[in-house]
Structure 1
Amino acid sequence: MYTSLAVQHAANPHTELLAESFYVVHDGTVTWADVPGLAQYAAVHVERDLGLGTYRFDYSRHPIAALARNWLISRGADPGQLAVDVEDPMSTDQATRDLEDFLAVSGDRFGIRDDYTHDSPDFYKTWIIATDSRPDPGQQPVRVFYEDVDTANHSYSLRQGGFATIEAARSWVDRLGHPDNPLPPLTAAPSARAAGAGAHSSVAITFSAPGPAQAPATPENSPTRPHRR
């Protein structure tokens, strides 16, 4: 039930033998775990000591693939070389790809406070509450990252919203799925708002509220969840 979504191999430059491997995998067994809502992605790092003929294996679980990539990049993976390793990746849109790439290279900027994956054929959604240790001036210090999977159309979207407090973020996730509960936008920094007002007479925001994904398949550096049902 483990599905490889992205992989990178690194060879020893002197011997050209495989020295390191980085994997993003989806763990389908979590669907039947005793505890509902667990993170379904794993980042796997394998280091090989070619002289001793041994290897070291380490892994970390994450609620979305972009955060699994983040963990691997922090351990030496090349962001541009984590290639998709699935035959039929889900389609998504540019806003999702941009946010995934941002999270993958954000380092330790975001502290994950809570997450939950709703795993059912008609309601496959993941939310993450995170605190931002380096918010831009004027931005809220708490974010919700929200992944919405459309299993029928084999597509998904990832969006983010801004909140003043963790309590406000929890209030939003408690009403997830209600039509009168849109994801609040992440406010832009004052300089961006001023520039946007001068050009368009409106306040600029980072990403729109969640909506259906109707774009082509993700590029090679954006691993996605496999179609499982």
Structure 2
Amino acid sequence: MKAIDFRLDGLEPADDLSADLYDCTWVGDFKTISQHDAGERSFIIAFDTSATWGYPNMPNIVSFDIIRDSSQAAFGMRRAEHATFAFAQNWLVNRGCPPDALAPTIDAPTPADDLSVRVEDRIRRSGEHLEVVGYQVIDGSDVEGWSIAVDRQDKDLPVRLFLETLQPDQFTYTVREGAFADHAAADTWLEHRSTPLPEAPEYRLDTEALRTSAALSRTASLPLAASTSPASPATPVNSPRSSRRSL
């Protein structure tokens, strides 16, 4: 990962908040994960290497919105911390970055399946409908992290748990979204995990398609019950029909 570069030479903070944020941002601590430049504006997602040495569960992904005004020799800075890359994308998309412009520019783990891709895309494009209220960061030897968010558009199952699991050997990860009626139910599930993660209604068709695909793969791999010969033609095996939705 390359060191972050805000390109602020010769520019002064345009307001007190920008000055404060710049003063507490040690540039050497941040490595760029993704960046999109639009004229004098930069949308940046970076990894905070100092988070490893900070307090437990400190978020290690930071998004920056940098606006330069060369005519005034000034700049504005806004930043936010996140537990996962998708929520960092969401924050910048809400501030005007094109949603498809923030793919990682480094060698990073990739989604293990199409459902993970869809869950992350939902986060990225959810606007301000999802409000993160708690998280557990993936760091060091950990292979799992999660974020709890409130979905302002769902009155029945507003509390959403986004569970991210790494597969280090494959250099991949999965993301799943669970839906709960309240925070107590989500906390109870996280503590005990005695049942599968409750499916969010947005993905039920997707998980049904994945199960159907797996069932069809198992059926296709079964050997025929009887050998075939020219004198005894094989009876056709009818594969089960299933409607699959493209993910």
Aligned residues: 179
TM-score in terms of structure 1 length: 0.71
Equivalent in 157, 161, 185 of residue 178 of structure 2: 161
Give the 3-state SS of the residue equivalent to 1:81 in structure 2.
coil
Which residue is 1:25 aligned to?
46
Equivalent pair of 1:187/1:206 in contact (CA under 8 Å): no
Equivalent pair of 2:84/2:137 in contact (CA under 8 Å): no
CA-based RMSD? 2.2
- Residue identity matched to 1:183: L
Residues 126 and 207 of structure 1, relative CA distance in 2, 3 Å threshold:
farther
TM-score in terms of structure 2 length: 0.66
Could you tell me the percent identity over the aligned residues? Answer: 26
The reply to whether residue 3 of structure 1 matches residue 20 of structure 2 is: no
Equivalent pair of 1:8/1:83 in contact (CA under 8 Å): no
Cα deviation per residue 1:109-159 (whole Å; 9 max; x = unaligned)? Answer: 0122211114232x32211111111028xx512110111122333211111
- Residue identity matched to 1:134: Q
Equivalent pair of 2:47/2:62 in contact (CA under 8 Å): yes
Which residue is 2:58 aligned to?
38
The reply to whether residue 103 of structure 1 matches residue 120 of structure 2 is: no
Which residue is 2:149 aligned to?
130
Structure 2: state its 5+ residue gaps.
1-28, 209-247
Give the 3-state SS of the residue equivalent to 1:84 in structure 2.
coil
Structure 1: state its 5+ residue gaps.
12-18, 193-203, 209-229
Shift in Å, 1:82: 2.1
The structure showing larger relative contact order (alpha-carbon pairs under 8 Å, at least 6 residues apart) is: 1
More helix by share: 2
Equivalent in 71, 76, 100 of residue 56 of structure 1: 76
Which residue is 1:174 aligned to?
191
Q: Which has the larger radius of gyration?
A: 2
Cα deviation per residue 1:153-212 (whole Å; 9 max; x = unaligned)? Answer: 32111110011110010112223xx6x442111135xxx9xxxxxxxxxxx45658xxxx
More strand by share: 1
